[in-house]
Amino acid sequence: MPRSKISASEKLKQIRPYVNFNYDLRQPLTKSAKAKIRKYHALIAEFKSHTVTVYRPKRKDRLKAAQTYSQTPKGFPALKVAFIPGEDKPQLKWSGKKKNKLKVLVGEPGKESYETDFLPFDEEEIIYDTAQHVRDVIKEAPDAKWFSIGAGIHEIRKAVKRPFIVREIERLAARYSGDAPESAEGQNHFFGNWMTGLKVYEFKNQESAAAYMQHKAEVARNLAKKRRKEKRNKKLKQARKKNA
């Protein structure tokens, strides 16, 4: 991600509603403060480049569960919100004895709605015993028939049926192993660095999952196209203003 030209002070103002740290901008910012601001600003900006709902729970256990669902990476303890993805406003459903087990309902209950959950991978197990770890993880969602694969804070927009999810992840692991002949991307694309877990989809009509994922991919493409156009127009406007 290219570094923004926005100053650290301005970035801090933008992220204050989402983090539990602050700095006195009447004083010069230290190098460590600037680095921390840049780190959190980059993550928050990436989340907000998509359609998200900002969730602000009072309970720490619910915040942790919501951040796990939204695939928030480790190393951001000062983040006091969760960015719940979805084109439609999601409804959070809490279950369990402590009401801290999260599923997210999207759509109108009783109609074309679905529930989602996120099952994170263990960072070591997914590397050392990929197939078995995936088998163990999907046991946590015994009724789910469809999955998508988490990639950082995003997901690969492809619905995979339960019988084929282990094979699909093994295929990606082999392709992005870092030493595979067909993997020209290099170590930065090593699957252990970005493959975070499985998004579980439980549709009232499970066969709707594939069509929904196609729709979701189309929405994402249109949004990216719109943003590219806005960026181009902004540059053209700046160039005209400069040459005027």
Q: What HEC string does the chain produce?
A: CCCCCCCHHHHHHHHHHHECCCCCCCCCCCHHHHHHHHHHHHHHHHHHCCCEEEECCCCHHHHHHHHHHCCCCCCCCCECCEEEECCCCCEEEEECCCCCEEEEEECCCCCCCEEEEEEECCCCHHHHCHHHHHHHHHCCCCCCCEEEEEECCEEEEEEEEHHHHHHHHHHHHHHCCCCCCCCCCCHHHCHHHHEEEEEEEEECCCCHHHHHHHHHHHHHHHHHHHHHHHHHHHHHHHHHHHHC
Report angle CA 17, 157, 170 to the nearest 5 degrees. 115
pLDDT(3) > 80: no
Question: Please, which pLDDT band fits residue 10 given cuts at 50, 70 and 90?
Answer: very high
Task: State what percent of residues in the chain have pLDDT above 70.
Answer: 81
Tell me the per-residue pLDDT of 91-105, one tens digit each, with 9 for 90 and over.
Answer: 888 887 878 788 887
Task: Work out the average pLDDT over 166-180.
Answer: 85
pLDDT(121) > 80: yes
Q: What is the reported pLDDT for 67?
A: 93
Question: Please, which pLDDT band fits residue 65 given cuts at 50, 70 and 90?
Answer: very high
Q: What is the reported pLDDT for 231?
A: 79
Of the candidate ranges 2-6, 118-122, 240-244, the one whose mean pLDDT is the lowest: 2-6
Q: Are 102 and 92 in contact (CB under 8 A)?
A: yes
pLDDT(186) > 90: no
Q: What is the reported pLDDT for 107?
A: 61
Dist. CA 191–CA 178, nearest whole Å: 8
Q: What is the reported pLDDT for 241?
A: 77
Q: What is the reported pLDDT for 114?
A: 67
pLDDT(42) > 90: yes
Task: Name every residue whose Cβ is closer than 8 Å to that of residue 192 and which is 6 or more positions away in sequence.
Answer: 123, 126, 127
Q: Are 201 and 107 in contact (CB under 8 A)?
A: no
Task: Work out the average pLDDT over 25-29.
Answer: 93
What is the token pair recorded at 19? 């983090």
More confident residue, 49 or 43: 43
Question: Please, which pLDDT band fits residue 185 given cuts at 50, 70 and 90?
Answer: very low
What is the token pair recorded at 229? 């156009």
